[in-house]
């Protein structure tokens, strides 16, 4: 244990030194909605958000020839460590895995629920690492917040020139299911032109434009064809309470005045009441475990609905 702590202390010291050398303290460019919303309740975020299915993880590693245990990996905008833990479960060595997260509350929760992994304060536009440090940079449920060419150039700088890979991943509830669509419509109206403005979100698709380098933008740091997009279906069982928590974990919902959040909760619970028949499953074993590492509350006596989720993985190889 003392050796582990000493190793982490040395790595932490090196990260702080690198930050100072690159003049990165304090870090910049965190979207205001994300900075305030995600600083509210990291435990809620970690409890409510789904993880990533085995098929998606295997797809990421299929683009890298080296053994997983030898890879140097950066989990960027790591949040509370949901993707970080999946990387560990998928075979990445904890000694080769580093996380970066700009929001203090998320880093604090990360340290509690993802112990033993170094996490640094940083942003995608200014990373505290040397050129070519990593074989793989992953971003889970976050690239839409910093989808710009400055970030892509900085990420590419930190990737190995001979095969470095950027992997972006998102989970999105499947709106083709009526009750899911109604719940999403209820909370998504708060991210589109209201008091918080047009909040960057994965589903809006603007993140893809960051990979288009027009005349005057310079040369793309990634190979042609990026991003290569693939989709993986998975699901989990969810109670009514968990479904509200999932909505409430959104940054722009956390930023709402308390009265508006109370009204939204009542609206979402009303939708679920109208679709009560879908809450007919009982959680109690492996039937709702698709390998995604979901850490939902163990309320086996509560009736659940099956929540279908579409996971996207977008791959970009350094040019």
Span 193-205, pLDDT tens digits? 888 999 999 999 9
Rounded distance between C-alpha atoms, residue 143 and residue 200, angstroms? 10
Does residue 18 have a pLDDT over 60?
no
Distance of CA 11 to the CA centre of its chain: 23
Rounded mean pLDDT, 248-253: 98
What does the domain layout of the chain look like in residue ranges? Answer: 2-317
Cis peptide before 26 (omega within 30 of 0): yes
pLDDT tier at 285, thresholds 50, 70, 90: low
pLDDT tier at 301, thresholds 50, 70, 90: low
Span 136-190, pLDDT tens digits? 999 999 999 999 999 999 999 999 999 999 999 999 999 999 999 999 999 999 9
Does residue 130 have a pLDDT over 60?
yes
**What is the per-residue pLDDT for 293?**
44
**Average confidence score pLDDT of the chain:** 90
Does residue 25 have a pLDDT over 50?
no
CATH of domain 2-317: 3.40.50.150
Cis peptide before 213 (omega within 30 of 0): no
């Amino acid at each position: 244990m003392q050796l582990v702590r000493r190793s982490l202390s040395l790595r932490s010291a090196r990260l702080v030194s690198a930050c100072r050398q690159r003049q990165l303290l304090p870090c910049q460019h965190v979207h205001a909605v994300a900075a305030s919303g995600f600083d509210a309740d990291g435990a809620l975020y970690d409890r409510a958000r789904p993880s990533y299915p085995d098929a998606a993880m295997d797809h990421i590693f299929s683009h890298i020839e080296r053994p997983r245990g030898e890879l140097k990996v950066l989990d960027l905008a790591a949040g509370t460590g949901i993707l970080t833990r999946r990387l560990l479960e998928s075979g990445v060595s904890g000694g080769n895995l580093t996380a970066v997260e700009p929001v203090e509350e998320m880093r604090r929760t990360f340290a509690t629920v993802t112990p033993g992994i170094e996490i640094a304060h940083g942003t995608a536009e200014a990373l505290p690492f040397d050129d070519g440090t990593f074989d793989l940079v992953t971003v889970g449920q976050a690239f839409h917040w910093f989808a710009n060419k400055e970030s892509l150039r900085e990420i590419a700088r930190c990737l190995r020139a001979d095969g470095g890979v950027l992997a972006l991943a998102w989970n999105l509830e499947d709106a083709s299911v009526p009750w899911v669509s109604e719940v999403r419509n209820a909370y998504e109206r708060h991210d589109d032109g209201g008091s918080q403005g047009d909040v960057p979100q994965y589903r809006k698709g603007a993140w893809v434009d960051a990979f288009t380098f027009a005349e005057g933008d310079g040369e793309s740091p990634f190979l042609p064809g990026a991003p290569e997009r693939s989709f993986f279906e998975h699901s989990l069982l969810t109670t009514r309470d968990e479904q509200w928590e999932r909505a409430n974990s959104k940054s722009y919902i956390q930023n709402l005045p308390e009265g508006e959040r109370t009204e939204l909760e009542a609206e979402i619970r009303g939708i679920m009441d109208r679709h009560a028949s879908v809450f007919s499953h009982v959680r109690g074993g492996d039937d709702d475990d698709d390998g995604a590492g979901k850490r939902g509350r163990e309320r086996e006596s509560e009736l659940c609905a099956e929540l279908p989720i579409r996971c996207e993985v977008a791959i970009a190889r350094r040019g």
